[in-house]
Structure 1
Amino acid sequence: MTFDTADTAGPAHADLVEQAAAAAAGVSGVAFLRPGLADRLRSVRHRATNGTGGAPTGAPPAGVRMTRPDADSPWHVEIHVVALREARTVDVARAVRVTVARRLGALSPPQPAPRITVTVTGLV
């Protein structure tokens, strides 16, 4: 779940989205990032043409949306995860938020701190 606006196009945006997704997926208690409808459709189309599952190489990571209205504003990062049933949902959401904030802060320290919203959309 990503979307591009004029100020977010380019490799810097794509790298930040990938880094945020990797940080979120690595948190203890996260089963996976929730794929959006476009990711599910892309997966079905890719599987039908290649005989394999999953998103094609170079596809944006599922479950992360990064936007900002202009270059001076902080990034707004929305992350949707599915958590493991044995983990406390609130702890998982907090850990994802802190981990992603640290990763993005390390990648672009002079930028204003990103606003991060984490939603746990399911349990497995």
Structure 2
Amino acid sequence: MTRTAVHATLVEEIARVVEDLPGVAFLRPGLTGLLRSALPRPDRSTAATASAGVRVSRPSGAEPWRVEISLVARRHLRGVDVARAARRAVEERVAALFPAETTPAQVSVTVTGLV
């Protein structure tokens, strides 16, 4: 699999894991996700849509993946608990995808709002 394909798959997996957590209302889109267009929106299953609140980078193959998540949490749960659960779930998922790596990911989660 190419580096781009691995990246797209990883972003989709992370988005799916985070969106399925209790307390997560939705992933917060970046600026490109907020811009409106006359063009039809892409299918939900595409990497561009899934990456709305997920940024993944890896400067070199020797360093761990850097994962940044922006999400909006549900008001009935504490934001800190939702953020911790999201970080833990992402760390576990990346570790499962890359079992040979000792430190597969550095994960940061930002709760940008409550609904």
TM-score (norm. length: structure 1): 0.81
* Alignment of 1:99 onto 2:89: yes
Aligned counterparts of 1:10 and 1:76: Cα–Cα separation in 2: 15
Aligned counterparts of 2:81 and 2:9: Cα–Cα separation in 1: 26
Aligned counterparts of 2:88 and 2:47: Cα–Cα separation in 1: 25
Query: Which residue is 1:116 aligned to?
Result: 107
Aligned counterparts of 1:69 and 1:38: Cα–Cα separation in 2: 23
Aligned counterparts of 1:37 and 1:27: Cα–Cα separation in 2: 24
* Alignment of 1:15 onto 2:9: yes
Query: Which residue is 1:90 aligned to?
Result: 80
What is the CA-CA distance between 1:113 and the residue it aligns to? 2.4
* Alignment of 1:34 onto 2:31: no
Structure 1 unaligned residues grouped into runs of 5+: 1-7
The runs of at least 4 consecutive aligned structure 1 residues that moved more than 2 Å come to: none
C-alpha RMSD over aligned residues = 1.5
Aligned counterparts of 1:78 and 1:65: Cα–Cα separation in 2: 5
Equivalent residues, number = 109
- For 2:21, give the aligned amino acid: V
How high is the sequence identity, in percent, across the aligned residues? 50
TM-score (norm. length: structure 2): 0.87
What is the CA-CA distance between 1:9 and the residue it aligns to? 4.7
Structure 2 unaligned residues grouped into runs of 5+: none
